[in-house]
Amino acid sequence: MTASSSTADFRTRLQEWLPKIVLSPSVAAMFVFVYGFIIYTIYLSFTGSKMLPSHDWVGVGNYVKLWGLRAWWTAIINLGIFATLYIVICTVIGLSLAILLDQKIRGEGMLRPIYLYPMALSFIVTGTAWKWIMDPGIGLENTMHLWGWESFEFGWIKDRNLAIYTVVIAAVWQTSGFVMSMFLAGLRGIDNEILKAAQIDGASNWNLYRRIVIPLLRPAFLSAFVILAHLAVKSYDLIIALTGGGPGRATELPATFMYSYTFTRNSMGIGAASAVIMLMTIAAIMTPYLYAELKEKK
Positions 36 through 55 that interact with another protein (CB under 8 A)? 36-38, 40-41, 44, 53
Instruction: Tell which one of 10, 33, 73, 149 touches another protein (CB under 8 A).
Output: 33
Which listed range, 66-74, 78-86, 155-163, 261-269, lies at the site for another protein (CB under 8 A)? 261-269
Is residue 93 a contact residue for another protein (CB under 8 A)? yes
- Based on the shown chain and the rule CB under 8 A, indicate whether residue 233 belongs to the binding site for another protein: yes
Tell me how many degrees the CA angle 15-21-25 measures, rounded to the nearest 5: 160
* DSSP per residue, 185-234: HHHHTS-HHHHHHHHHTT--HHHIIIIIIHHHTHHHHHHHHHHHHHHHHH
CB 247 within 8 A of CB 74: no
Q: How far apart are CA 72 and CA 66, in angstroms?
A: 7
For residues 228 and 289, what is the distance between their CA atoms, to the nearest angstrom?
13
Near another protein by CB under 8 A: residue from 263, 266, 284, 288: 263
Question: Using the rule CB under 8 A, which residue among 79, 182, 270, 273 binds another protein?
Answer: 182
Question: Which positions from 113 through 172 interact with another protein, judged by CB under 8 A?
Answer: 113-126, 128-133, 137-140, 142-143, 146-147
Q: How far is the CB of 20 from another protein (least distance, A)?
A: 7
Contact between 61 and another protein (CB under 8 A)?
Answer: no
Residue 57's DSSP bridge partners are: 47
140: enclosing H helix or E strand:
helix 140-146
Q: Which stretch binds another protein (CB under 8 A): 55-63, 78-86, 150-158, 289-297?
A: 289-297
Q: Which of 6, 7, 10, 11 binds another protein (CB under 8 A)?
A: 11
SS3 label, residue 47: strand
For another protein, which residue of 51, 207, 287, 288 counts as binding (CB under 8 A)?
287
Give the whole-angstrom CA distance, residue 224 versus residue 7.
54
Cα–Cα dist 149/6, whole Å: 89
Q: With binding defined as CB under 8 A, does residue 6 bind another protein?
A: no
Cβ distance to another protein smaller for residue 77 or 197: 197
Q: Report the nearest approach of another protein to the CB of residue 84 (Å).
A: 18
Residue 69 within binding range of another protein, rule CB under 8 A: no
Q: Choose between 84 and 122: whose C-beta lies nearer to another protein.
A: 122
Among 6, 7, 10, 35, binds another protein (CB under 8 A): 35
Distance separating alpha carbons of residues 161 and 150, to the nearest angstrom: 23
Q: Which long-range contacts (CB under 8 A, 24 or more apart) does 214-218 make?
A: 214/95, 216/186, 216/190, 217/95, 217/183, 217/186, 217/187, 217/190
- Exposed (0-12), middle (13-18) or buried (19+): which is 139, by Cβ within 10 Å? middle
Q: Please, which residue, 61 or 244, has the CB nearer to another protein?
A: 244
Q: Among 2, 15, 161, 264, indicate the residue that binds another protein (CB under 8 A).
A: 15
- Name which of residues 200 to 219 contact another protein (CB under 8 A): 205, 208, 219
- The span of 5-13, 55-63, 84-92, 150-158 binding another protein (CB under 8 A) equals 5-13
Is residue 12 part of the contact set for another protein (CB under 8 A)?
yes
Among 81, 244, 250, 260, binds another protein (CB under 8 A): 244
For the range 29-38, what are the long-range contacts, defined as Cβ-Cβ under 8 Å and sequence gap of 24 or more? 38/279
- Position 291: which residue type? Y
